[in-house]
Structure 1
Amino acid sequence: MSYIAGVDIGGTNTKIGIVDEEGEILVKKSIKTLSLEGAEKTMTRIWETIRELLSSLNIDEKDLKGVGMGIPGPVMNKKVVGFFANFPWERNLNVSQMFEIISGKTTRLDNDVNVIALGEAKFGAGKGAGSSVTIALGTGIGGGIYVDGNLISGFTGAGGEIGHMKLVQNGKLCGCGQRGCFEAYASATGIEREAVSRLLVNKTNLLYEKINGDISRLEAKDVFDAAKEGDAFSLEIVDYEAEYLAMGIGNILNIINPEKVILGGGVALAGDILLDRVKDKLPKYALAVTLNNFNIVLGTLGNDAGIKGAAALID
């Protein structure tokens, strides 16, 4: 039997797992990324951890087929990272080559959210579907597009950056520096910004009570919690969020026509109070034919999606 190492590299922590041929994680460990020490030192520590995990399973290194990695940045040809979103590492770095020199193992990589999408498509909520788009709804919005067994990474590795499609001409400022992005409206940050603007003029509501009048501590979760308790003020904000989420997903359906959209990230944890509203609004934005036998579902792999998806990069 052969095995694959899946590596999910984050700004603070890196998750590493040994995965079998069925996509099951046999053992995993989280280590500090310590990106300030430089790419080579980080990669060396990752390889040392992989060796440690193999040893714990009594697996010979020769039975390790390869190493797959999820990287925070655009990746070209599953080898070269155009730039790193959170690391002070050089641009256009061939991480695949660097790690192959360190480990002697075939190494392939892709953008971290693409890798999560691949994990959900092959082993999670998208299993069995020919096409799916995974949307990570957190501080920002990331995306991964899976069609006919392949990730759509694009010419320069920026494929799947759905958070930066434009929903409003010259709209709200996004963290990317442009205006009107999907992310500026439907992310946790977008929800919080909208809630704060409304709380400044209306403090007679359950949401204001929940945060004890301290608007600076507001989080998206507070909005959903208050809405679930029937707070009309918060329900209006959820409806606002659902409108933009439906608009963004509708655009995706009209362009990609996937079988499934898989929602992950902190905002998705709102559950049915958000999901039901999005489904109700979708027909306003998606062509009717794209909704035939289409499903929006929640991701099922959680923190394991990155490890499993990274491992799936190795054929």
Structure 2
Amino acid sequence: MRYFAGIDMGGTNSKIGIMNENGDILKTENIKTLSGEGVDKTLERIWEKVKEMMSSLNIEYKKLEGIGMGIPGPVIDQKIVGFFANFPWGNDIDISEKMEKISGVKTRLDNDVNVIALGEARYGSAKGYKSSVTIALGTGIGGGIYIDGRLLSGATGAGGEIGHMKIVKDGNLCGCGQKGCFETYASATGVIREATSRLMVNKTNLLYEMIDGDISKLEAKHVFDAAKQGDKFSLDIVEYISEYLSMGIGNILNIINPDVIVLSGGVALAGDILLDRVKQKLPKYSLKVTLDNLDIVLGVLGNDAGIKGATALVL
């Protein structure tokens, strides 16, 4: 039996999993990333934790055949990180080389959402499809494009940055510094931004009651929960969000023409109240041929997607 380590690195915590060649996760643990201590110390602590986990499974760490990593940032050739979204580690760092020097184990990495997309394609809701696009709807919007057994990472690692498609000229300001990005309208941040704006002028609704009149408590989940209870105010926001989500997905369909779209992340948990509206509006924004036999599904791997996808990089 062959064994692999999958690592999902985050700004605060890193999740580590040990997986066998059959795709079974044998053990997972979370550790603090502590990126402020520097890249080498962080990688050394991760490797020590991997060895500890292998030992607890009564497997010699020398039987580990590969390490896969999901990184928040663009990755070139599954080795070099152009820049780190949340870490003070500088640019163009060969993480693969550093980890291989520390561990002696083959190491490959990719952008964290690309890795989630790979996990869903190999082990999750897109398994068996020839091409898929995974859209992670969270605080922002990330994407991963999987075609003919491979991730589309791009020349400089920015392939799949669908959250920064422009869907409104000179629209809402995005965290990237540009305006009108897809994620400023259809992410959890976009939901909260729109709901907050509307609550400033209309407080006679179930949503306002659910947050006890404290707009600072507002989360995207509140909007969808109120909409599911029939609150017209919240349903109008869901209609607004679904319009932009449909526009963004329609652009993706017209460019990539995948077999399946996988929606993951917190906003996707809204379920049918959002998904049904998106499906209804898609014909406005995508060519009919791209909708023929298209499946739109929810991701099924949850927190394991990052580990399974990272491991797939070295499998």
> With structure 1 as the length reference, what TM-score do the two structures score?
0.99
Aligned-residue offset at 1:62: 2.8
> What stretches of structure 1 of length at least 5 have no aligned partner?
none
Q: Distance in 2 between matches of 1:9 and 1:213?
A: 36
Which segment drifts farther, 17-26 or 228-237?
A: 17-26
Cα displacement (A) at 1:127: 0.5
Q: For the residues of structure 1 that align with 2:40 and 2:95, how far apart are their CA atoms?
A: 9
Distance (Å, rounded) in 2 between the aligned partners of 1:215 and 1:110? 37
Determine the structure 2 residue equivalent to 1:98: 98
CA shift, 1:209, in A, is 1.2
In the comparison of the two structures, how many residue pairs are matched? 315
Deviation by residue 1:255-275 (Cα, 9 ceiling, x = unmatched): 000111111111011010000
Equivalent residue for 1:185?
A: 185
**Equivalence map 1:230-245=2 (5 Å):** 230-245=230-245
Structure 2 unmatched ranges of 5 or more? none
Any idea what the Cα deviations from partners look like across 1:15-56, whole Å, max 9, x if unmatched?
Answer: 111111111101111111010010000000110111111111
Query: For 2:91, what is the secondary structure of its paired residue?
Result: coil
Partner Cα distance (1:260, 1:234) in 2: 29
Which residue pairs with 2:9 in the alignment? 9
Distance 2:203 2:29 in 1: 45
Offset from partner CA, 1:195-233 (integer Å, 9 cap, x none): 111111111111111111111221111110110000001
Give, in whole Å, the separation in 2 of the partners of 1:174 and 1:209: 29
**Aligned counterparts of 2:91 and 2:291: Cα–Cα separation in 1:** 41
The DSSP-based 3-state class of the residue aligned with 1:133 is strand
Matched position secondary structure for 1:4? strand
Q: Does 1:42 align with 2:42?
A: yes
In the TM superposition, residue 136 of structure 1 has moved relative to its aligned partner by 0.7
Aligned to 1:28: 28
Distance in 1 of aligned mates of 2:22 and 2:2: 10
Letter of the structure 2 residue corresponding to residue 135 of structure 1: I
Is 2:282 aligned against 1:282?
yes
Give the Cα–Cα distance (whole angstroms) in 1 for the partners of residues 226 and 88 of structure 2.
40
Where in structure 1 do 4 or more consecutive aligned residues deviate above 3 Å?
none
User: Shift of the alpha carbon at 1:60?
Assistant: 2.0
Task: Report the alpha carbon displacement of residue 276 of structure 1 after superposing the two structures with TM.
Answer: 0.4
Partner of 1:166: 166
Match of 1:191, SS? helix
1: distance between equivalents of 2:292 and 2:20? 36
Partner of 1:130: 130
Greater alpha carbon shift after TM alignment, 206-215 vs 136-145: 206-215
- 3-state secondary structure, aligned to 1:195: helix
The 3-state SS of whatever aligns with 1:40 is helix
How many Å separate the matches in 2 of 1:210 and 1:27?
Answer: 39
1: CA distance, partners of 2:166 / 2:90: 29
In 2: Cα distance, 1:148 partner to 1:23 partner: 20
The residue matched to 1:261 in structure 2 has which SS?
Answer: strand
The Cα offsets for residues 116-137 of structure 1, whole Å up to 9 and x where unpaired, read as: 1100110001010111111111
TM-score w.r.t. length of structure 2: 0.99
1:312 aligns with 2:312: yes
In 1, the alpha carbon distance for the partners of 2:41 and 2:213 equals: 46
Residue aligning to 2:252: 252
The aligned runs of 1:287-306 (5 Å cut-off) are 287-306=287-306
What is the alpha-carbon root mean square deviation over aligned residues? 0.7
One-letter amino acid of the structure 1 residue matched with residue 106 of structure 2: T
* 2:221 equivalent to 1:221: yes
Hey, what does 2:72 align to over in structure 1?
72
In structure 1, what is the Cα distance between the partners aligned to 2:66 and 2:192?
42
SS of structure 1 residue aligned to 2:314:
coil
Task: Describe the SS at the equivalent of 2:21.
Answer: coil
What's the CA shift string for 1:109-152, capped at 9, x where partnerless? 00001001100110001010111111111110011101010000
- In the aligned structure 2, how far is the partner of 1:211 from the partner of 1:51? 46
- Kindly state the Cα deviation for residue 61 of structure 1 after the two structures are TM-superposed: 2.4
CA–CA distance in 1 between the matches of 2:28 and 2:200? 46
Residue 195 of structure 1 pairs with residue 195 of structure 2: yes
Q: Which SS does the other structure have where 1:92 is aligned?
A: strand
Q: Which residue identity lines up with residue 181 of structure 1 in the other structure?
A: C
Q: Note the alpha carbon deviations across 1:236-282, whole angstroms, 9 max, x for none.
A: 00000110000000000000001111111110110100000000001
Aligned to 2:113: 113
